Amino acid sequence: MRAPRSVLKQQFLKKWMMGLQVFGSAKQSMSILERKKAIKLSADIALAATRDGRTCWSRAIIADASKDDGGKVLVQHLLSPESERLKKACTGLVMDNKRVRCKKILKRSCCIKRIRKGASKVALAKSISKRIVKRRTQVLKSLVPGGEFMDDISLIEETLDYMVSLRAQVDVMRRSLAKATEVVNGK
Amino acid sequence: MDTSDKDKFELEKSNDNPINYHSSGGMSSDWRFNSTSIPNSSLGLVPTDNLMSVCRGDLVGAASCSSSSVIDSFGPAMWEHPTNSQNLVFCDINAQNIASSSNTVGIGKGFPFSSRNGIDRTLEMGWNPPNSMLKGGIFLPNAPGMLPQSLSQFPADSAFIERAARFSCFNGGDFGDMVNPFGVPESMGLFSRGGGMMQGPGEVFVGSGMKSVSGGQTQKNVMNAGEASKDVSMSVDHMATEGSPLKNDTKRESLARSRDESKKGAGGSGNDSDEAEFSGGSGQDEPSMLEGNCGELSAKSLGSKKRKRSGQDAELDQAKGTPQSAKGSPETQQKGDQKPASTTSKASGKQGKQGSQGSDQPKDDYIHVRARRGQATNSHSLAERVRREKISERMKFLQDLVPGCSKVTGKAVMLDEIINYVQSLQRQVEFLSMKLATVNPRLDFNIEGLLAKDILHSRAVPPSSLAFSSEMPMAYPALHQSQPGLIPTAFPGMESHSDILRRTINSQLTPMTAGFKEPAQLPNVWDDELHNVVQMSYGK
């Protein structure tokens, strides 16, 4: 029986290493920032690749990464063993999101806006809390990749999955950092 | 206005404080610190940015590593711990004992948080001794049997099921704990560990039994779930001493009991909000249906058998899977059993304050929703209610996932916590990648490192296995954190054993000396073993 969390971490690690190897030749010439970006990018793409396009945030990450050249190389490198369909799905993500947004605008225009009645304290508190919740939802949408296009419910699901993956990513990266420092110190 | 701003700030800060900041200074993790600084994002994101830079500086310190590992330790601790408030009420005493013992044992990571948040924290810490050893291994027994719990909430989608299987690990501890005294699947046997949770097995079990039962009911696809939950419900039945054969009745019994326990037969309307939290991982329709049942049952003090009997008949009819509008409540096919319960409750006695509420569908079906008595039947409000319940039930998952959110109720604060946590994780990734960039100028993580990492991910070996003569297991006690899983079979093929062993051990030593993520007890055991191993490797 495989523990799902360690399986996730192993998958992520493998893909991350693969991604880093893509940078192999250019490494010496990179500045620290560039290296950091490369590391982070490969880590993010590896993380998204572990989800195989099943989740919205992973598709969003891959779609974003495919926009520029460096990311594209990585994406192809990491994803080519897997389905071509996945890549198409990610590139088609933008169109889907636009469609979602249009639908939302339509829905909002058709919805009857209820006038806020009652200066009662309860109603006031409710409206305040609603506003707070709305604002925080906006923040969360900005945090989760591809979050702007999701409705509340799927946003929470995506957040769940994203959090799990992030945690695994942090764990793997920290361990590899420990290992790397040890190797460097030991030399 | 300064004063008004400050007032608002302090008001919100004080609101957050009781929830978040029970911990004394100690090892407040980064994102705790972050939370304190940004009690609510409604104040604007500007403070967030400032704090981000501040926190980054903070992250550089060694404390950051420890705090991130604390966060990590939090995760599993939170996952295995059922964070229902009801359960907490029942289990405080033992939990505190366990917590104190675990504190003395000195689980480094989880330590600072044990002092905070009273009961639920102590409960978490109580689980830490086994948790730290089985950190990832928890999932091992969880995965197969834990499908029931969380799968119910998500649409019947295979991807969702897989994910929910993962998520179920979080609730798995809860499920396993609750179910365990009745010896349901042995896969949950792993959670027979503390007696702490078994305080009032009846109530506790009921509390979660409802959860698991309802979880089991709603997903037809998952047969395991149904069976497991049926087992659970059967056990609940036995416990409930009502002796009604049907599981639906059992559910209602348990519901009524739990309701009674928690609310002492309070009115039905009050049940609504409570059920939203209470039912945890139940399906969307659960809360309303359950509260409907509970409300009326509690009002009737468990009701008469006769009423239940008549209810049973109607339930049976419904349970046949005909979503017809018998009694005017068409139900979705997938949520077979709960519906009948609610409709029969309406049918049988017109006790009514509640009808059942339809639950959501996978996208293809209609959403059949029934208005509750005394509430608007406007389609908008119905849809809103459905949506709200879906959201609240998913927030329950997040509550289990995000450390420190067990006591938090309400969307706003939960969202805040979630935001802080995600932000902190993302910042950690940034920081770690920066550090990796500085540490390793060549960006090449050689195969050796990779293999060693495989070792890190391999199974955890408890200290008892240190007695092994072979070298390989000797390396394992260092990996207290690792999870069961991959065996490094590629290991012998690579460099010499001694080299790799030495490196692995060294890699474990550095964290050890750095003082993070090691339980205090293990180093004692390690020292001897490491000496042995080093001698062995040098002796080669």
Q: How far apart are the CA of B42 and the nearest CA of chain A, in angstroms? A: 6
d(CA B440, CA A111): 56
Predicted pLDDT of residue A116: 53
Q: What are phi and psi of B369, to 5 degrees?
A: -125, 140
Q: Is residue A122 predicted with pLDDT exceeding 80?
A: yes
* Neighbouring residues of B285: CB distance < 8 A, sequence distance ≥ 6: B218, B332, B335, B338, B339, B342, B356, B357, B358, B359
Predicted pLDDT of residue B326: 41
Q: Is residue B425 predicted with pLDDT exceeding 60?
A: yes
Residue holding tokens 């509750």? Answer: B372
Q: Is residue A111 predicted with pLDDT exceeding 50?
A: yes
Q: Would you call B423 helix, strand, or coil by DSSP?
A: helix
Query: Buried b / exposed e across B209-238, counting CB within 10 Å, b at 16+?
Result: bbbbbbbbbbbebbebbbebbbbbbbbbbe
Contact A182 B425 (CB under 8 A): no
Q: If you measure CA to CA, which chain A residue comes closest to B458?
A: A6
Predicted pLDDT of residue A50: 79
**Which of B446, B486, B510 has its CB closest to that of A182?**
B510
Residues of B in contact with A175 (CB under 8 A): 453, 456
Predicted pLDDT of residue B159: 58
Q: Is residue B89 predicted with pLDDT exceeding 50?
A: no
Q: For A40, what's the count of Cα atoms within 13 Å in the CB-facing half-sphere?
A: 18
Residues of B in contact with A17 (CB under 8 A): 445, 450
For residue B364, name the pLDDT band (cuts at 50, 70, 90). low
Contact A174 B169 (CB under 8 A): no
Predicted pLDDT of residue A160: 86
Report DSSP letters for B149-217, one per residue: HHHTTS-S-HHHHHHHHHHHHHHHHHHHHHHGGGT--GGGGGGG--SGGGSSHHHHHHHHHHHHHHHHH
For residue B449, name the pLDDT band (cuts at 50, 70, 90). low
- pLDDT tens digits for B30-40? 444 444 444 44
Nearest residue to A13 (alpha-carbon basis) of A80, A82, A78, A90: A78
Instruction: Read off the pLDDT of each residue in A86-113 and give the average, rounded to a whole number.
Output: 62
Q: Is residue A61 predicted with pLDDT exceeding 70?
A: yes
Q: Is A161 on the interface with B (CB under 8 A)?
A: yes
Contact A17 B445 (CB under 8 A): yes
**Which of A136, A178, A185 has its CB closest to that of B416?**
A136
Q: Is A115 on the interface with B (CB under 8 A)?
A: no
Instruction: Read off the pLDDT of each residue in A37-52 and give the average, rounded to a whole number.
Output: 79
Is residue B53 a contact partner of residue B34, using CB atoms and an 8 Å limit?
no
* Neighbouring residues of B536: CB distance < 8 A, sequence distance ≥ 6: B471, B474, B498
Best residue in B483, B486, B518 for a mutation probing chain A (most A CBs within 10 Å): B483
Domain ranges of chain A: 5-112+144-185
Instruction: Read off the pLDDT of each residue in B436-441 and give the average, rounded to a whole number.
Output: 76
Q: For B497, what's the count of Cα atoms within 13 Å in the CB-facing half-sphere?
A: 17
Residues of B in contact with A185 (CB under 8 A): 510
Contact B452 A180 (CB under 8 A): no
Q: Is residue B157 predicted with pLDDT exceeding 60?
A: no
For residue B504, name the pLDDT band (cuts at 50, 70, 90). very low
**Which of B160, B422, B454 has its CB closest to that of A163?**
B422
> Positive or negative, the Cα torsion across B485, B486, B492, B494?
negative
**Which of A1, A132, A185 has its CB closest to that of B42?**
A132
% of residues, chain B, pLDDT over 70 = 12
DSSP B421: H
**Which of A55, A164, A184 has its CB closest to that of B440?**
A184
Q: How far apart are the CA of B235 and the nearest CA of chain A, in angstroms? A: 28
Predicted pLDDT of residue B158: 56
**Which of A3, A17, A163 has its CB closest to that of B484?**
A3
Q: How far apart are the CA of A111 and the nearest CA of chain B, in angstroms? A: 9
Which comes out higher in pLDDT, residue A110 or B430? B430
Q: How far apart are the CA of B237 and the nearest CA of chain A, in angstroms? A: 32
Residues of A in contact with B486 (CB under 8 A): 2, 6, 10
Query: Buried b / exposed e across A110-127, counting CB within 10 Å, b at 16+?
Result: eeeeeeeeeeeeeeeeee
User: Chain A 47-76, CB below 8 Å of chain B: which residues?
Assistant: 54-55
Q: If you measure CA to CA, which chain B residue comes closest to A55?
A: B159
Nearest residue to B308 (alpha-carbon basis) of B243, B219, B231, B387: B243
User: Chain A 120-149, CB below 8 Å of chain B: which residues?
Assistant: 129, 131-133, 135-137, 139-140, 143-144
Mean pLDDT of chain A: 74
Q: If you measure CA to CA, which chain B residue comes closest to A176?
A: B453
DSSP A111: S
Contact A139 B454 (CB under 8 A): no
Contact B507 A179 (CB under 8 A): yes
Is residue B97 a contact partner of residue B196, using CB atoms and an 8 Å limit?
yes
Give the Cβ contact number of residue A153 at 10 Å: 15
| Inter-chain Cβ pairs, chain A and chain B, closer than 8 A | 225
Instruction: Read off the pLDDT of each residue in B10-16 and give the average, rounded to a whole number.
Output: 43
Which comes out higher in pLDDT, residue A157 or B61? A157
Is residue B327 left, alpha or beta, with left meaning phi > 0 and alpha meaning psi from -120 to 50? Answer: left
d(CA B405, CA B396): 10
Residues of B in contact with A28 (CB under 8 A): 442
Highest mean pLDDT among A90-94, B20-24, B119-123, B493-497: A90-94
Q: Is residue B350 predicted with pLDDT exceeding 60?
A: no
Predicted pLDDT of residue A59: 79
Q: If you measure CA to CA, which chain B residue comes closest to A156?
A: B394
- Helices within B81-154 (DSSP H only): 85-105, 111-114, 118-133, 139-145, 147-151
Instruction: Report CA Rg, chain B.
Output: 25
* Neighbouring residues of B334: CB distance < 8 A, sequence distance ≥ 6: B156, B218, B219, B220, B361, B362, B365
**Which of B394, B412, B423 has its CB closest to that of A153?**
B394
Contact B483 A178 (CB under 8 A): no
Instruction: Read off the pLDDT of each residue in B308-313 and give the average, rounded to a whole number.
Output: 46
Q: How far apart are the CA of A22 and the nearest CA of chain B, in angstroms? A: 10
Q: Which residue type occupies B424?
A: S
Instruction: Read off the pLDDT of each residue in B167-186 and give the average, rounded to a whole number.
Output: 45
For residue B424, name the pLDDT band (cuts at 50, 70, 90). very high
Instruction: Read off the pLDDT of each residue in B390-405 and give the average, rounded to a whole number.
Output: 80
Q: Is residue B256 predicted with pLDDT exceeding 60?
A: no
Is residue B426 a contact partner of residue A167, using CB atoms and an 8 Å limit?
no
Predicted pLDDT of residue B492: 40
Model pTM? Answer: 0.43
Is residue B515 left, alpha or beta, with left meaning phi > 0 and alpha meaning psi from -120 to 50? Answer: left
% of residues, chain B, pLDDT over 90 = 1
**Which of A17, A135, A178 has its CB closest to that of B507?**
A178
Q: If you measure CA to CA, which chain B residue comes closest to A182?
A: B507
Predicted pLDDT of residue B535: 52
Mean pLDDT of chain B: 49
**Long-range CB contacts for residues B60-67, cutoff 8 Å, separation at least 24:** B60/B431, B62/B514, B62/B516, B63/B27, B63/B30, B64/B30, B64/B428, B64/B431, B65/A174, B65/B514, B65/B516, B66/B27, B66/B109, B66/B515, B66/B516, B66/B517, B67/B27, B67/B28, B67/B29, B67/B30, B67/B31, B67/B32
Q: A75-89, A126-140, B227-241: which has the minimum mean pLDDT?
A: B227-241
d(CA A89, CA A93): 6
d(CA B130, CA B135): 8
Contact A164 B422 (CB under 8 A): no
Contact A30 B402 (CB under 8 A): no
Instruction: Read off the pLDDT of each residue in A41-46 and give the average, rounded to a whole number.
Output: 80
d(CA B524, CA A95): 59
Contact A54 B432 (CB under 8 A): no
Is residue B369 a contact partner of residue B385, using CB atoms and an 8 Å limit?
yes
Instruction: Read off the pLDDT of each residue in A112-121 and give the average, rounded to a whole number.
Output: 59
Nearest residue to B105 (alpha-carbon basis) of B127, B83, B88: B127
d(CA B213, CA B11): 40
Q: If you measure CA to CA, which chain B residue comes closest to A135?
A: B42
Highest mean pLDDT among A46-55, B197-206, B397-406, B410-419: B410-419
Q: How far apart are the CA of A61 and the nearest CA of chain B, in angstroms? A: 14
Contact A161 B163 (CB under 8 A): yes
Contact A38 B401 (CB under 8 A): no
Q: If you measure CA to CA, which chain B residue comes closest to A23?
A: B443
Structural tokens at position A37: 């970006």
Contact B422 A5 (CB under 8 A): no
Residues of A in contact with B165 (CB under 8 A): 4
